[in-house]
Amino acid sequence: MKQALSAAVQGLRTFVSDVADGFFEITHNGFALLGLATVFAVLALFARPDLRQSGEEQLMGWLEARRAALRPAEPVSPVALEPTALERTTAASPMDLPKQQAAMAFWLARKYRVAPEPLSVLVAEAYDLGQRTKLDPALILAIVAVESSFNPFAQSHVGAQGLMQVMTRVHGDKYEPAGGTLTAFDPVTNMRVGVKVLLECISRAGSLEGGLRYYVGAANLESDGGYASKVLAERSRLRQVAAGKAVAPNAAPTPVRDAPISATNDKKPAATGDDKVALLSDGS
């Protein structure tokens, strides 16, 4: 019995010893293989910088992804702003304008209590329209000033809308290329349509003052209520500002007379007295 027990113990020791030796051998060989693989990997990375860079980029990407996954989610603001908002903004720095235009923008901003940044866009647009249509940019800006005081959302009791108070229901076709009548409240689009209407009025009347009477809808009335005089007075002040003169907002302007402008179309019957701004339609 003792011999059998002794043999069993001896066999167990042998088994444990063999298992330990095997485990050590396997572990030793495994660490050796791991070390060998590490050495080869290091050599490969040094020999191939592109592989090292790619590996680093992948590792950093993985770490950033893990960091983002562990970071608590930020609550979404109900009034989150959009980085593309600037594309919808009608504003520019007046310091980027030529000297004359910047002077106009700052002067109009003070007089009408409007920020100079949106006015800078409108002044630049007036000069661009003036160059393309041969109209005085100061005249365009003077009409805007008298009509809406540079409020792009202004609307009269008869439905004239926007900066130049154009009758949208009459001239809706002119807004179609821009996207429809809602663009009447886009300052630049309204100014362009207003200038188009003004050109039609001047062409119809044969002179600037006559065109202004058509524009305000007083062509067949004894008086335009001083509308043309107000526009021309503001134009005169703006011209003085552009010339570098110090002009008080309500200073008496130097009278300026314009030579008659030849009409390119035949004159048509005057609009009714109740009409505002060229209820002149293309077919009227």
pLDDT in tens, 63-88: 777 776 776 766 777 888 888 888 88
Residues 21 and 53 in one domain: yes
Strand ranges, E, within the chain: 160-161, 166-167
What DSSP letter does each residue of 34-81 carry, written as one string?
HHHHHHHHHHHHHH-HHHHHHHHHHHHHHHHHHHHHHSPPPPPPTT--
Residues 193 and 230 in one domain: yes
Q: How many domains does the chain have?
A: 2
Residues 216 and 170 in one domain: yes
In a domain, 184, yes or no: yes
16 versus 208: the higher-pLDDT residue is 208
In a domain, 153, yes or no: yes
In a domain, 57, yes or no: yes
Residues 100 and 221 in one domain: yes
Alpha carbon distance 168, 149 (integer Å) = 18
In a domain, 171, yes or no: yes
* Structural domain span for residue 171: 90-242
Burial of 147 (0-12, 13-18, 19+ CB in 10 A): buried
Residues 16 and 46 in one domain: yes
Q: What is the pLDDT of residues 234-260, one digit of tens each?
A: 999 999 999 999 998 877 766 544 433
Residues 62 and 113 in one domain: no
Q: Is the pTM of this model over 0.95?
A: no
Q: How far is CA 120 from CA 77, 102, 123, 125, 184, in A?
A: 33, 7, 5, 8, 19
Amino acid of residue 94: P
Owner of token pair 């249509």: 133
Q: Which tokens hold the place of 248?
A: 């008080």
Residues 135 and 188 in one domain: yes
Residues 51 and 171 in one domain: no
pLDDT of residue 91: 94
Residues 62 and 98 in one domain: no
Alpha carbon distance 87, 17 (integer Å) = 79
Torsion of CA 266, 216, 104, 248, to 10 degrees: 130
Residues 183 and 154 in one domain: yes
Residues 101 and 234 in one domain: yes
Q: What is the CATH number for 189?
A: 1.10.530.10
Q: What is the pLDDT of residues 121-130, one digit of tens each?
A: 999 999 999 9
Of 89, 147, 148, residue with least CA distance to 120: 89
Residues 19 and 52 in one domain: yes
In a domain, 202, yes or no: yes
